[in-house]
Amino acid sequence: MAKIICPICKESRHIDLMDSGQFNLYFCNNCKNGFVHPFPKDISEYYPKIYWQNLGRFSFLRQCIHNSFQKLRAGWFRRYMSRGDILDVGSGEGVFGQILGQAFNVTNLEYPGAKVENKDVIKVNFLNWKTNEKFDAIVFLESLEHVTNPAQYLKKAASLLKKGGFIFVEYPRFGSLESKILGKHWLQRDIPRHLFHFTEEGLKNIANRVNLKIVTQTEIMSFQYSPYCLLASIGQMLGISTLNLRLGFIKNIPKLLFLLIGAPLVFILEIIFYFIEESPLGLIVLKKK
């Protein structure tokens, strides 16, 4: 068996196998981050169009929830700055930039295979992107875990900052209680699209490795996002599939009961997790040293 080497710290010892399958999940006890091995040869095939766009019967409802979550993100972003030039790496359709408002000039980037329709989104490999622009802030809103080299992405981001600029990274907390309890059923594992799995200590290690100063690191409470992920994770663990309106009311009764009982329960659980500092979402804000 070939020796497994951590892509972040290049450590080959103290690597634990956490989940096996077509793509194995390992955890490096040296840098405190998880990683997928092997990487998919073509990651594009694992991203359906629905990943970026809200399609289907409940598209309007999903879009409203998504926009509400983006407003929440914009709210905590504005605590640090009220205007400026922003780079959104992994922007999707660019909704976050639209919600920020006219005081911000937002450049949106997505990877070349992204199935987004917004023509203002630049589809390019961030590490190969050539630009003379400098930015007041660069955001990775649950996108850094998707890239093949998070340390190099942060290093490149730092090189594009104006003096005093910030880097914001929102990420699923791999060390959270939800992750530990649900294991392979935790929705935010999302293998193989999530190539890396960050803990608080792990992200600190990466930041130090690329000479970035930690301004703050905290958990995030999101009623628009976290309860849904927890409910879906529990459903997956129990073998309960999502609603299928084509099957009719009778065959959907078990799923409807699960939703009626589970929905208020997961909201309560997420509140508890937040207050005991076990929220599944984290935010780290960085600056150049």
Residue 32 within a domain: yes
Residue 145 within a domain: yes
Q: Domain with 34 in it: what CATH number?
A: 3.40.50.150
State residue 53's pLDDT score: 63
State residue 54's pLDDT score: 59
Residue 214 within a domain: yes
Give the dihedral of Cα atoms 150, 152, 158, 160; nearest 10 deg: -110
Which residue from 231, 221, 241 is spatially nearest to 182, judged by alpha carbons?
231
- Residue range of the domain that includes 184: 15-221+279-288
State residue 2's pLDDT score: 74
Name the one residue in this structure whose structure tokens are 């710290």. Answer: 9
d(CA 184, CA 202): 20
Q: Give the predicted TM-score (pTM) of the model.
A: 0.91
Residue 10 within a domain: no
**Beta-carbon contacts of residue 26 (< 8 Å; ≥ 6 apart):** 4, 6, 15, 16, 17, 18, 34, 35, 36, 37
State residue 66's pLDDT score: 79
Is residue 231 left, alpha or beta, with left meaning phi > 0 and alpha meaning psi from -120 to 50? alpha
Strand order in the sheet with 122-123: 122-123, 104-110, 84-89, 135-141, 161-172, 281-288, 212-220
Residue 229 within a domain: no
Low-confidence stretches of the chain (pLDDT < 50) are: none
State residue 9's pLDDT score: 95
Burial 120-149 (b: 16+ CB within 10 A, else e): ebeeeebeeeeeeeebbbbbbbbbbbbbbe
State residue 55's pLDDT score: 54
Residue 237 within a domain: no
State residue 229's pLDDT score: 92
Question: In the chain, how many domains are there?
Answer: 1
Residue 71 within a domain: yes
Residue 70 within a domain: yes
